[in-house]
Amino acid sequence: MHLIVPFAGTVSEAGLHALQSLALPRLGTLLARLQPVQCLGSDAFSLNPPHELALATAWGWPAASDASRSGAATADTALPFAARQAAALGLDTGQPWGLLTPVHLHVGTDQVSLTPPSALQLDDTASRELLEIVRPLFETEGFTLHHAGPLQWLATHALFDGLATASLDRVTGRNVNRWLPDHRSARLIRRLQNEVQMLLYTHAVNDRREAAGLPTVNSVWLSHCGRLPAGTRQADDLQTDDRLREPALGEDWAAWCEAWQALDAGPIDALARAGSGARLTLCGERFAQTYAAAPQGLWQRLASRWQAPAAHTVLESL
């Protein structure tokens, strides 16, 4: 079993403070048995967060694998998660795909930030209605759109071939300006984002949402572009546990700690019982560190119990 844990660590000062009082005994026991085998990432400002690099590496995608070997695993390369989702839905994977997410951009006094998409509370009906409103803007420019879920609109266009864009997990809760694509190939996307904002600003669908006390949908975010790489592995033994994502993105550190404790008592405990095949990848905002079992003699096993770093030390380093 290979368990990937996104948002296991944070660079937030409040989050690091909460981490100091977090007891994770099963994680500590597991780390004492495993050895670090691979580290991906370098900082919190790359387009691809470490957990997405870890997934892409597990699937054997060349872009992630090449970055890992070169030591530049946070290179701003295109990771085509949208194409993988299109393949799962039986859509044509012979063309590049991108993921459009309906979002609310909050305009503050000195920055524009992206509200967590889950706060929109979009159901399938509302999402399809919004998609039909904006569809003509995209289709007149040669895009084809498919509804894949309330917060997931898949799109195809030649522009998406190798187009590197910031993951939604990088942008949520942050100033979007540094994450907007500014290279020439993305100018059309920037223009369409502006047109979507103007179209939805005074649209009746948002009047109804405001009347219901819901955030307006005033833009879209493009991410996960590219073609599905040939030879993508299934990685049947791979499990991703996302329970830390929402509290981390919402900076609810009490809820994050509670989620960590549940994770420690559940999947981490199960992994500790999995035997010699156990692999664990802990992902923060800067690094994804993978641990795996390695052959050890008696002395090494005894020494590891004393030399293994504390769980909170490992999480702080991510």
Amino acid at 301: R
Which of residues 193, 209, 226 is at a domain's end? 226
| Residue 234: both structure tokens together | 């299934």
With bands split at pLDDT 50, 70 and 90, how would you rate the model's confidence at 305? low
Residues 181 and 133 in one domain: yes
pLDDT at 310: 83
Residues 87 and 156 in one domain: yes
Read off the pLDDT of each residue in 80-107 and give the average, rounded to a whole number. 94
Q: What is the 3-state secondary structure (H, E, C) of 180-239?
A: CCCCHHHHHHHHHHHHHHHHHHCCHHHHHHHHCCCCCCCEEEEEEEECCCCCCCCCCCEE
Residues 158 and 85 in one domain: yes
Residues 200 and 243 in one domain: no
pLDDT at 180: 82
pLDDT above 60 for 296: no
Residues 162 and 28 in one domain: no
Amino acid at 245: R
Residues 175 and 305 in one domain: no
Residues 124 and 261 in one domain: no
pLDDT at 230: 86
Count CB neighbours of 15 within 10 A.
22
With bands split at pLDDT 50, 70 and 90, how would you rate the model's confidence at 299? very low
Range of the domain at 104: 81-226
Q: How many domains does the chain have?
A: 2
Residues 255 and 206 in one domain: no
d(CA 188, CA 158): 12
- Of 318, 84, 125, the closest CA to residue 224 belongs to 84
Residues 220 and 92 in one domain: yes
Answer yes or no: pTM beyond 0.85. Answer: yes
- Give tens-digit pLDDT for 122-133: 999 999 999 999
Read off the pLDDT of each residue in 298-311 and give the average, rounded to a whole number. 57
Residues 64 and 85 in one domain: no
Residues 94 and 217 in one domain: yes
Residues 222 and 280 in one domain: no
| Residue 284: both structure tokens together | 């923060």
Who contacts 228 (Cβ-Cβ below 8 Å, separation ≥6)?
Answer: 80, 83, 84, 86, 87, 93, 97
| Residue 112: both structure tokens together | 């524009």
Which of residues 209, 226, 243 is at a domain's end? 226
Read off the pLDDT of each residue in 14-43 and give the average, rounded to a whole number. 92
Read off the pLDDT of each residue in 281-296 and give the average, rounded to a whole number. 88
With bands split at pLDDT 50, 70 and 90, how would you rate the model's confidence at 69? very low
Tokens 């569809």 sit on residue:
135
